[in-house]
Amino acid sequence: MTDKKKKPKRPHEVYTLVVQVGRKPGDGLPEEATGAGLVCYASGVDEAEAVRETVAILKQADLAPLDVTGHGTLAERRALGEEIGEEEVELMERARVENAVIVAQMTPFFDKDDT
């Protein structure tokens, strides 16, 4: 018999991530859009895991992630003086409970070339 010690389960935090996506066939973005910006809440034992999970989920959704910027956990954001609304807190809690990635906002980008 082997006596394997179980590693203590690390608690998950929820991280606020801003993701820029490019274009990809079937991505569901408006035809004229050049990409989009997404605000996501992602659960993970650390920010790196939250980023990996978010990128994987977005790729499964036929999006093309280009860049991810982390904005920290709820506690970190509050420590920086950010005011965070109840709706945002509820979405973060949902991400934590469901161990999920929640896309809270998607804003398509359009070229502003008037020439």
Question: Does any domain span residue 64?
Answer: yes
Residues sharing a CB contact under 8 Å with residue 93, sequence separation 6 or more, in sequence order: 14
Residue whose structure tokens are 């970190």: 76
Question: Does any domain span residue 101?
Answer: yes
Taking residues 81-87, report their average pLDDT.
Answer: 95
- pLDDT tens readout for residues 36-80: 999 999 999 999 999 999 999 999 999 999 999 999 999 999 999
Whether the Cβ atoms of residue 58 and residue 19 lie closer than 8 Å to each other: yes
Q: What confidence score (pLDDT) does residue 114 get? A: 47
Query: Between 107 and 8, whose confidence is greater?
Result: 107
Query: Euclidean distance between the first and final Cα of the chain, in Å?
Result: 75
Q: What confidence score (pLDDT) does residue 11 get? A: 83
- pLDDT tens readout for residues 87-115: 999 999 999 999 999 999 999 999 876 44
Counting the structural domains of the chain, the total is: 1
Question: Does any domain span residue 68?
Answer: yes
Q: What confidence score (pLDDT) does residue 10 get? A: 78
Q: Coil, strand, or helix at residue 64? A: strand
Q: Which domain holds residue 63?
A: 13-109
Name the pTM for this structure.
0.86
Question: Does any domain span residue 7?
Answer: no
Structure tokens at 43: 């659960």
Question: Does any domain span residue 50?
Answer: yes
Question: Does any domain span residue 94?
Answer: yes
Question: Does any domain span residue 87?
Answer: yes
d(CA 68, CA 103): 13
The answer, yes or no, to whether residue 7 has pLDDT greater than 90, is no
The answer, yes or no, to whether residue 5 has pLDDT greater than 70, is no
Q: What confidence score (pLDDT) does residue 113 get? A: 66
Question: Does any domain span residue 115?
Answer: no
- In one letter, which amino acid is 43? S
d(CA 37, CA 85): 20
What is the dihedral sign for C-alpha 79, 17, 100, 110? Answer: positive
